[in-house]
């Protein structure tokens, strides 16, 4: 018996990174009076994770719910970066429509295409929100044309192409049906969601079925499974079966059942088809598992998640400074933490090579560096290798992952950027004059050609360039590529870096460390100005002689050092270097710390 939940709407918000998804959710929460009038609310309240707040990006998809005119609208905020595409793919299974948010100036960007493609493949009818309508350089009508062209290019059906449009300023908290409307609040957007998004429909009398699409963890109740009920009714203390992806069935009971109300979970005795619920007390559950009626266990199909394209080695820290900063330093700690990450991070793969070394594969550099940064903040010490791409063999032909790269640069930097991309095997596919003196260049480039490119790109464009890339697919291996053109400055002896030693070393290249930094032999302290590695003694003090005191002419001027982040080091590292990551420090070092060992290896 088919049943419609007339008072429920389920919708996901998708967009290119930084087009205002999370801010839009804020505005909708405020409009629906989710917060008390005197409640202090942070901006981008959905970005609850520290890293999300610092970087201004969404990493994990999150659920919220608002009540408006007697309707409950469940909203899922999703990440914009293709590196977290696994999050987007799963979430689309929970909703009946998507709000595609587009910047009124930037228009359709690479990730817009990526997330829209996933939504259209899932058979959803999107609504388009042209955001940041209050920008001085807004060009809403052209942006709508771009979006329509994108729908056609992605093979959208006639019904999908007939999308409603809302113009909004998420930051200002207002929306309208036309760009010229006098906008007051978000009512036009909320009304349109209720009119346009289909209510959930299905068999309410049938046996329970829901797919776990997200996991959460609580120190009180353990694992919490989140998903949408696709059939029947779920009740507290109900006997259910968990069916995993291999078809194994395990019987258990629902201890607690929660619905979303604003940003909070609220306990409920029962929930019906179309509700997005959280369930706890069911024991060990994984993403992709089906929760079904214990008497009639039937599994639901799980979405295919794109394969990883990059891999790195995660190793136990064995540097001379190992164990000084971290709480978790053994291989057992590292293994347990990676296995725990696998439960919630569906795009990740972990392969144990030796007891101390794990091969971790993910969707991109950002995907893996966020994991490393999270572990570092939790108190882990580890070493990681330079990222390498995952190739495939098909009919005796080697294939490698390709990325679709979009670059917006001022005209004067175009030549430099194109010159740098040539050796990296990039092929230009499109070039258009973008707005305000910028030119848009589009390339197809091997994923390995992008490793280490962002650093050069930012320097070459003096910080004015914008680059975005999204996974394109696999293609024939494009041949050898030149590696880093400059060598490293390698520390000659252990100790503490002093001004005199650094002053002599800075003539050889660019330094990464300041006076007073503890160093060890084999650690990389800077970038050499030549192609070879050079050993420098940064601990060398000026000794007194019979002609002058050791303290005379102390006014040695040091050039400001180049501050290196985790991503900078991962891009900068060569194959014989590894990045040491601890809660307090990030260092680059040679695999072989002893310079005699390095010489012997080089001769071989």
What is the residue-wise DSSP string for 407-425?
A: EEEEGGGHHHHHHHHTTTT
Gyration radius (Cα) of the chain, Å: 27
pLDDT of residue 200 exceeding 90, the answer is no
> Which one is predicted more confidently, 76 or 446?
446
Cα 325 to Cα 377: distance, rounded to the nearest angstrom: 11
Between strands 201-203 and 382-385, the pairing is unpaired
Band (pLDDT 50/70/90 cuts) for residue 450 is: confident
CA atoms within 13 A on the CB side of 47: 21
pLDDT of residue 125 exceeding 80, the answer is yes
Q: What is the pLDDT of residue 547?
A: 61
pLDDT in tens, 262-310: 767 888 888 888 888 888 877 778 778 888 888 888 888 876 666 788 8
Tell me 579's DSSP state: E
Write down all domains in the chain, each with its CATH number in brackets.
2-199 (3.40.50.300), 202-293 (2.40.30.10), 392-476 (3.30.70.240)
Cα 543 to Cα 549: distance, rounded to the nearest angstrom: 8
Q: What is the pTM of this model?
A: 0.70
- Please state the residue numbers annotated as binding site: 18-23, 131-134
Contact 318, 581 (CB under 8 A): no
User: Encoding tokens for residue 15?
Assistant: 């967009």
For 320-351, b where at least 16 C-beta lie within 10 A, e where not — what string? ebbeebbebbebebbbebbeeeeebbbbbebe
User: Encoding tokens for residue 254?
Assistant: 């629902």
- Please state the residue numbers annotated as binding site for GTP: 18-23, 131-134
Q: What is the pLDDT of residue 552?
A: 53
Percent of the chain clearing pLDDT 70 (strictly above): 88
pLDDT in tens, 345-396: 777 889 999 899 999 998 777 778 888 988 988 899 999 998 888 888 888 8
pLDDT of residue 18 exceeding 70, the answer is no
Percent of the chain clearing pLDDT 90 (strictly above): 7
Q: What is the pLDDT of residue 550?
A: 52
pLDDT of residue 238 exceeding 50, the answer is yes
Angle, CA 506 vertex, CA 503 and CA 508 arms, to 5°: 130
Average pLDDT over the chain reads 81
CA atoms within 13 A on the CB side of 245: 10
Cα 115 to Cα 78: distance, rounded to the nearest angstrom: 10
Q: What is the pLDDT of residue 247?
A: 78
Q: What is the pLDDT of residue 302?
A: 75
Average pLDDT in the 130-158 region? 84
> Which one is predicted more confidently, 332 or 456?
332
Tell me 506's DSSP state: G
Average pLDDT in the 225-254 region? 84
pLDDT of residue 568 exceeding 90, the answer is no
Band (pLDDT 50/70/90 cuts) for residue 472 is: confident
């Amino acid at each position: 018996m088919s049943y419609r939940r007339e008072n429920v709407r389920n919708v996901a918000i998708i967009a290119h990174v930084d087009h205002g998804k999370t801010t839009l959710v804020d505005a909708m929460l405020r409009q629906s009076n989710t917060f008390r009038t005197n409640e202090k609310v942070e901006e981008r309240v959905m970005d609850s994770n520290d890293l999300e707040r610092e970087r201004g990006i969404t990493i994990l998809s999150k659920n919220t719910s608002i009540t408006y005119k007697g309707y409950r609208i469940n909203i899922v905020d999703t990440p914009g970066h293709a590196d977290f595409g696994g999050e987007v793919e799963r979430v689309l299974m929970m909703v009946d429509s998507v709000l595609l948010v587009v910047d009124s100036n930037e228009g359709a960007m690479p990730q817009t295409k990526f997330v829209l493609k996933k939504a259209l493949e899932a058979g959803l009818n999107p609504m388009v929100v042209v955001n940041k309508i209050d920008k001085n350089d807004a060009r809403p009508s052209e942006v709508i044309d771009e979006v329509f062209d994108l729908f056609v290019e992605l093979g959208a059906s006639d019904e999908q192409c007939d999308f409603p449009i809302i113009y909004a300023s998420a930051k200002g908290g207002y929306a309208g049906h036309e760009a010229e409307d006098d906008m007051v609040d978000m009512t036009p957007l909320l009304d349109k969601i209720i009119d346009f998004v289909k209510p959930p429909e299905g068999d309410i009398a049938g046996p329970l079925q829901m797919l776990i699409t997200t996991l959460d963890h609580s120190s009180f109740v353990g694992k919490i499974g989140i998903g949408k009920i696709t059939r029947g009714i779920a009740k507290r203390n109900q006997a259910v079966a968990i069916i995993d992806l291999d078809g194994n069935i395990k019987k258990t009971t629902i201890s607690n059942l929660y619905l979303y109300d604003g940003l909070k979970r609220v306990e409920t005795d029962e929930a019906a088809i179309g509700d997005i619920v959280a369930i706890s007390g069911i024991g060990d559950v994984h993403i992709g598992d089906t929760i079904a009626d214990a008497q009639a266990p039937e599994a639901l199909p799980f979405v295919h998640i794109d394969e990883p394209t990059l891999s790195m080695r995660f190793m136990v820290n064995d540097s001379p400074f190992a164990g000084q900063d971290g709480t978790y330093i053994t291989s057992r700690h590292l293994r347990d933490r990676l296995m725990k990450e696998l439960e919630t991070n569906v795009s990740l793969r972990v392969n144990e090579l030796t007891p101390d070394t794990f091969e971790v594969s993910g969707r991109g550099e950002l995907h893996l560096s966020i994991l490393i940064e999270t572990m570092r903040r939790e108190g882990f010490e580890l070493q990681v290798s330079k990222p390498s791409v995952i190739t495939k063999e098909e009919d005796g032909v080697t294939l490698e992952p390709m990325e679709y790269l979009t670059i917006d640069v001022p005209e004067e930097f175009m030549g430099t950027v194109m010159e740098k991309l040539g050796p990296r095997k990039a092929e230009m596919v499109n070039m258009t004059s973008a707005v305000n003196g910028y030119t848009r260049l589009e390339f197809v480039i091997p994923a390995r050609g992008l490793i280490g490119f962002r650093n050069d790109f930012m320097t070459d464009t003096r910080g004015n360039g914008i680059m975005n890339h999204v996974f394109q697919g696999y293609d024939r291996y494009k041949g050898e590529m030149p590696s880093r053109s400059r060598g490293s400055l390698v520390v000659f002896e252990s100790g503490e870096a002093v001004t005199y030693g650094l002053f002599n070393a800075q003539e050889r290249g660019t330094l990464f460390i300041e006076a007073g930094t503890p160093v060890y032999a084999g650690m990389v302290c800077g970038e050499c100005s030549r192609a070879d590695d050079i050993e420098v003694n940064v601990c060398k003090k000026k000794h007194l002689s019979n002609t002058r005191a050791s303290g005379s002419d102390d006014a040695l001027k040091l050039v400001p050092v180049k501050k290196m982040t985790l991503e900078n080091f991962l891009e900068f590292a060569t194959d014989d270097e590894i990045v040491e990551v601890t809660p307090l420090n990030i260092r680059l070092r040679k695999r072989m710390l002893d310079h005699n060992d390095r010489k012997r290896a080089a001769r071989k």
